[in-house]
Structure 1
């Protein structure tokens, strides 16, 4: 009997696992929370929870482009259609993954709209309990091997900020950001100096009245789309964020 393999997630890692296990003659089943392949590269306007009450997995925002060259976001021997640009849009990455799934006939392996509720192991077998969300049916499947491919960064972590409870405006984690237009005419503070923080600064600054950046260190962020330099004083760990904001107008 063929080795039974479970793959959780139909993003890049899950699709790759499905392709190669199937090619090796194994019986592969992919559990995917959404209704198609692509994983975190799928865009949705929805934030919070979906129609089934499940937390939205993707952090994808509308205007995202990769911050690394396309050569490092591709499978070996399968180039991107876009040969001109080094940094691709999220739509192009999603199309690439969709074409990859079609190329190796991976969609028939996928159980879409399935929420993996529990995974356990007993007597050398894996037991995957999943809910078929549209039909609200729960079922447990048995496998010989398991790939967990649902990503690392789908749960937002919000830092504690002393005095934040006194802030009268709205606040959000970048996981829930989708597009810059809602910030038109507003004064916006972006906390953090990672790729998403600085990318959002670039997008929102085109609409907001003023954007303030809160970073710990001097930072230069470079991509193929824009170059912005931030020269900020180092923020001590015990400093209050409300007293150490450094403002830059863009």
Structure 2
């Protein structure tokens, strides 16, 4: 009896996207699974560290966590379908350390760590003949560089590693503190300082209100009329909403309305850009307007279909997405089902982009799902003929996502409970009894 040769697969990253990939591929005796993680533990961006810039190995720190961070989605839409949070508190919104513990528990429960090479940094990925891959890695502890070959590869490096800072006129002249939210850790650095926070997304709102407890003044720079109205009357006396920044001077900023404010610091909460510096040009992946191309279903590298990406779509239920995408990738990489030909995949992707643009998406938002999450989740499950994510998950996601925008000061006290695959209850801050939906 001969032993059938296993398919070697490399998984880059052991964070929230990488862990379900490791689980599903290591479960299958068809695969020989090796994962590479540059940190010394699972978790990726959820692993809090005080460090910014580069770590003691000289590698960029990839944790976007700040000390007080709490989730902006309930735990009910931030867990994998086959594993629940091991917490006793009756609450839906958790602190970052609880999510990190959940990822550690998940890895422990399924015995995933034995497949992970910790403290390994990916230097380069190149395609080889025969649809295979060459990966050049550095062992950060020994400094030894290794060149390894694999049949298939999955990229799970996440969306929150490469800060995006707008090119505002005069920014290079500013004499005060300038950071991205990626580097923000604690509010004490901004004590008694006049600070501009740029951006009104989740991190912009959280950080601006946190530093208002210590800063002398906080200017939240944004252009959302809906947010301006929803925050009206609830903000601290030292918190001022302003429009977009027109230009920056040595000692302050000029806003679009022509007003000038002297400031000591600027925090850019302006999101992240996709970047894969380890991918060689021969991999066929390019990024334009923060749109990764050419990808089939936001997952498969159309030029080299033995390469997949997990976790690219944003504004959705993250952990269920990662699990679903991992199972989608496995279906086709295992040969259980065959992908369409290159022309058909390109045409499907072109139609998807045209549809998103026609529905109002901007060119830099083509990986945003939000209200379209259900369509995408259903499409993946139907196309791959795999178990779908329960509808209740995306029903809760849609409600919770809107609650952030309309009830910023209270939404984290909402309490959700899943009843079945479709229904749930929610107890709002101001309600005594749960509401069934």
Could you tell me the TM-score, scaled by structure 1's length? 0.89
- 1:233 shift after superposition: 7.0
Aligned residue number for residue 7 of structure 2: 3
Is 2:102 aligned against 1:96?
yes
Q: Is the 8 A contact 1:18 1:28 kept in 2?
A: yes
Aligned residue number for residue 359 of structure 2: none
Aligned residue number for residue 49 of structure 1: 54
- Pairwise CA RMSD: 2.2
In 2, the alpha carbon distance for the partners of 1:228 and 1:78 equals: 39
Aligned residue number for residue 224 of structure 1: none
- 1:127 shift after superposition: 1.1
SS across alignment from 1:220: helix
Q: Which moved more, 1:72-81 or 1:31-40?
A: 72-81
Q: Is the 8 A contact 1:63 1:89 kept in 2?
A: yes
> Equivalent residues in 2 for 1:19-38 (5 A)?
19-25=23-29, 26-38=31-43
- 1:153 shift after superposition: 2.6
In 2, the alpha carbon distance for the partners of 1:101 and 1:145 equals: 22
Q: 1:215 aligns with which of 218, 222, 225?
A: 222
Q: Is the 8 A contact 1:7 1:17 kept in 2?
A: yes
For structure 2, the residue ranges without an aligned partner over 5 or more in a row are 229-233, 262-437
Aligned residue number for residue 176 of structure 1: 183
- 1:246 shift after superposition: 9.0
- 1:228 shift after superposition: 6.3
**TM-aligned CA distance change 1:198 to 1:246, over 3 Å:** farther
- 1:72 shift after superposition: 1.0
Q: 1:156 aligns with which of 160, 163, 166?
A: 163
Aligned residue number for residue 124 of structure 2: 118
Aligned residue number for residue 209 of structure 2: 202
Aligned residue number for residue 317 of structure 2: none
- 1:197 shift after superposition: 0.9
Is 2:90 aligned against 1:71?
no
State which structure, 1 or 2, has the greater radius of gyration over its C-alpha atoms.
2
In 1, the alpha carbon distance for the partners of 2:27 and 2:47 equals: 26
In 2, the alpha carbon distance for the partners of 1:52 and 1:219 equals: 45
- 1:243 shift after superposition: 2.4
- 1:12 shift after superposition: 1.2
Q: Which moved more, 1:46-55 or 1:95-104?
A: 46-55
For structure 1, the residue ranges without an aligned partner over 5 or more in a row are 222-226
**TM-aligned CA distance change 1:67 to 1:46, over 3 Å:** same
Aligned residue number for residue 140 of structure 2: 133
SS across alignment from 1:198: helix
Aligned residue number for residue 350 of structure 2: none
In 2, the alpha carbon distance for the partners of 1:132 and 1:141 equals: 12
SS across alignment from 2:177: coil
Q: Is the 8 A contact 1:216 1:232 kept in 2?
A: no
Q: Is the 8 A contact 1:217 1:232 kept in 2?
A: no
Could you tell me the TM-score, scaled by structure 2's length? 0.52
More helix by share: 2
- 1:168 shift after superposition: 2.3
- 1:187 shift after superposition: 1.3
* Structure 1 residues 60-91: Cα deviation after superposition (integer angstroms, max 9, x where no partner): 11111110111111011311123511111110
- How many residue pairs match? The answer is 240
Q: Is the 8 A contact 1:215 1:232 kept in 2?
A: yes
SS across alignment from 1:47: coil
Q: Is the 8 A contact 1:218 1:232 kept in 2?
A: no
